[in-house]
Amino acid sequence: MTLDSPFDLVDLDRGPRLDLGLGLGSGAADVSGRVLVGVAEEPGPADAGLDILLTGVADPPRPWVGCADPYATARRLGDIVADRPGASVALMQVLRMGPALEPPDRLVAESLAYSTLQASAVFRAWLDSAPSRTPRPSPAPVLLSRDGDRLAITLDRPQARNAMDAGTRDALCEALDVAVADPSITRVDLYGNGPAFCAGGDLSEFGTAGDPAQAHLVRVLRSPAALLQRCGARVTAHLHGACVGAGIELTAFAGWVRAAPDTVMRLPEVGMGLIPGAGGTASLPVRIGRERTAYLALSGEALGAGEALRWGLVDEVVEVG
C-alpha cells in the first residue's frame, strides 16, 4: 500500500491550513503520524504542537530556525519527509514523547524506534547503495588518565576519525563507569585525537546486527549516553573538526561543551532511513529544544561552531592549542 506523504505545512502568516488540534482552532485532527512544519516571515508566538518552526529572520529566538527562504526550506523538508516517511515520523514521535518521560526512558524510546527502523526496507536499500567499508578496529580505542580529582577520556582512533564502533563504544562505557563509580572525580574531560572529535557511528558496522531486538538490548545495556546522563554535570567536552551523529549526541549530555572554531556538527541518520541512535533525541532537546533538534535531524544540515554557540549546543568557542 502506498501512503501519502505525512508532511503538513502550517503557514502562520495566513493562519493554519489544517485544523491540527494544536490550539490553533476548534476540533482536533489526529497528527500523531504527521510531521508539522510552521512557517512565518517574522517569528512570533507559535503553538507548541508544531515540530519545526521556520522564519526568514536571521538569528531568531528559540524555538525558531532562521533561513533565507523559509518556504523553500519547508519544501525541501517536505521532500525529505516524502522520501523517508518512516524515519521522519518516528523522529517526531520520539521527540514529542521526550518531555513526558524520565531521562533514562527517553533513551529506551529512542532505541526502540531506531531498532525498528534498522529492519526497514528504506534502511536496507541505503545499505545496499552505500560503498563497502573495511573495519579498522583499534586495540586501545579510548585512552584514560587521571590527575588528582580530574579524569581525562580520549577517543583514540584517529585513522577512522574516532568513528564509534563496538570496541570504542565498550571502551568508552568502561571509562565512564570509572567516573560514575568514583565520586572523588570532580571533573571529566572528554577529548578526541586526530583531525576530528568523532565522525559518528562506524559505517563499516552498519547493518551487521541481524536481530534488531538483540541490537536494542545491546544498545540499552552498553550505553555511553546512559552513563553520561549520570555523570554529565562533571563532564567538559572538547570538540573540534567533525562532530557527526554520536559525536554531538553524546557530548550534548556534558555539563560544559567547548568547541574549536573548525567544529562542524551534523545529524545524518534520517538520510539513512534511521533516527539519531546514540542519545541525540534525549540530549539535544535539553540544550536547544525539541523543534531545533527536529530541524537538525530532519534536514541533515551542518551547524558550525558560531551558530551552535548561539543556539546553546556549545557553551564556548575556543582556539585549540
- Flag whether pLDDT at 20 surpasses 50: no
Average pLDDT over residues 110-120: 95
- Position 64 scores a pLDDT of 96
Cβ partners under 8 Å of residue 40, min gap 6: 11, 12, 13, 46, 53, 54, 55, 70
Instruction: Judge whether residue 23 has pLDDT over 70.
Output: no
Q: Are residues 121 and 162 in the same domain?
A: yes
The yes-or-no verdict on residue 45 having pLDDT over 90 is: no
Q: For residue 216, is it within any domain?
A: yes
Residue 91 inside a domain? The answer is no
* 245 vs 46, residue with greater confidence: 245
pLDDT higher at 228 or 127: 228
> Looking at the structure, do residues 43 and 137 belong to the same domain, yes or no?
no
**The pLDDT value given to residue 187:** 98
Domain that holds residue 54: 7-83
Model pLDDT, residue 319: 86
DSSP H or E stretch at residue 29: none
pTM of the model: 0.93
What's the mean pLDDT when you consider all of the chain? 92
Q: Report CA-CA distances (Å) from 283 to 80, 191, 214, 254.
A: 23, 18, 24, 9
Q: Which residue has the cell 546512559?
A: 226
pLDDT value at position 262? 97
| 3-class state of residue 82 by DSSP | helix
Structural domains in the chain (count): 2
Give the other-Cβ count within 10 Å of 246's Cβ: 28
Residue 1, pLDDT > 70, answer no
CA end-to-end span of the chain: 57
212 and 136 part of one domain? yes
* Band of residue 29 on the pLDDT scale cut at 50, 70, 90: low
178 and 73 in a common domain: no
Predicted confidence (pLDDT) per residue in 100-112, tens digit? 999 999 999 999 9
- The residues, ordered by sequence, that sit 6+ positions from 30 with a Cβ below 8 Å of its Cβ are 21
Lowest-pLDDT range of 31-35, 144-148, 167-171: 31-35
As a whole number of angstroms, the distance between CA 227 and CA 135 comes to 26
Q: Supply the pLDDT for residue 31.
A: 83
Same domain, 154 and 56: no
The sign of the CA dihedral 83, 87, 90, 96 is: negative
Same domain assignment for residues 300 and 183: yes
Write down the H helix ranges in 238-289: 246-249, 280-288
pLDDT at 207 over 90: no
Do both 140 and 270 map to the same domain? Answer: yes
| Predicted confidence (pLDDT) at residue 21 exceeds the cutoff of 50 | no
Residues 33 and 105 placed together within one structural domain of the fold: no
Separation between Cα atoms, residue 176 and residue 188, nearest integer Å: 9
What percent of the chain has pLDDT above 70? Answer: 93
